[in-house]
Chain A
């Protein structure tokens, strides 16, 4: 009897634990559903990126070009952040990585032209990149 009681208690605890989880899984916020989990995120083949930037005559950045992007990244989104002293973000912008067009080569490019604010090239100490896509 004792063994049966202990077993029942154990089963109830297990059931209660999963019941709590089940309640979370069916939680409703408005008309949206909620779920959670994790999964591995891979790259489209980028190992490093290098940028060049153009300036106007006042020394403000007008465009950042990033080249030698793997073809597999075509259509994905490139975010370039202009980083200044103390690792502060001076401005950030996004661009769509180009397709290979009519003539495919080993790599493709992307350009970012809007950083939200005017940024002096003198103040930029680092480019930070993010390539995101599916």
Chain B
């Protein structure tokens, strides 16, 4: 009987000793771990029409004139005779939550008449409000603009073409900052001296499909 008890005790001691060796070398007990996820909802919004769009152009040759009611808007490079087109949209109709972010945003413009050979135009954000109906070149040249252009884009050589200009970074920033959208200036920073005027359709165009549009795809 004593022998049996002794043997059991020996076996148990060996077993406990082995288990203790494991615990002494275990090194993961103090780590943190958390995992989770966030599902995104996708949506889109197209801003168009006279109620949500303001556009015009200004003429350096007629510095105190305004062209807010024109059905066309000009862009021209020649210093002293420059034309800028300005366009902005009221994003409130999209009811974008401040937690949203733009997946893509595209400004769509229909070019009525391209310059010979086509031009490369520059799109720059406007940083203060302006009144489309009365904006003059004197006023426009005094507006603050983004320190760098959002993008440049080619007009192509086809009259009546719809140009899709990416403005994702600006719209994404506007959504996150909850600031008002003051739109963009379209200018021609290219060479001068030849016929270089590009003419766009504006929101005053009779045909709805010719008017500027802003298409936003976003997550929320």
Bound-state Cα–Cα, A133 to B34, Å: 9
Bound-state Cα–Cα, A126 to B217, Å: 16
Question: Which of A35-43, A98-106, A108-116 lies at the interface with chain B?
Answer: A35-43
Distance (whole angstroms) from the CB of A101 to the closest CB of chain B: 21
Chain B interface residue count: which class? 35 or more
Task: With A25-B22, A33-B25, A127-B38 as known contacts, state yes or no: A56 contacts B168, CB within 8 Å.
Answer: yes
B31 lies within 8 A of A57 (CB): no
Query: Is B81 on the interface with A (CB-CB < 8 A)?
Result: no
A46 nearest CB neighbor, chain B only: B34
> Which residues of A are found within 8 Å of B32, using beta-carbon distances?
41-44, 73, 76, 131-134
A40 lies within 8 A of B38 (CB): no
Distance (whole angstroms) from the CB of B13 to the closest CB of chain A: 10
B35 lies within 8 A of A22 (CB): no
- Which residues on B are within 8 Å of A, measured CB to CB? 3-4, 7-8, 10-12, 14-15, 18, 21-23, 25-26, 28-40, 42, 99, 101-104, 150-151, 166-170, 172, 176, 217, 219
Task: List the 8 closest A-B pairs by CB distance, nearest first.
Answer: A39-B29, A43-B34, A14-B11, A35-B25, A57-B169, A7-B4, A11-B7, A37-B26
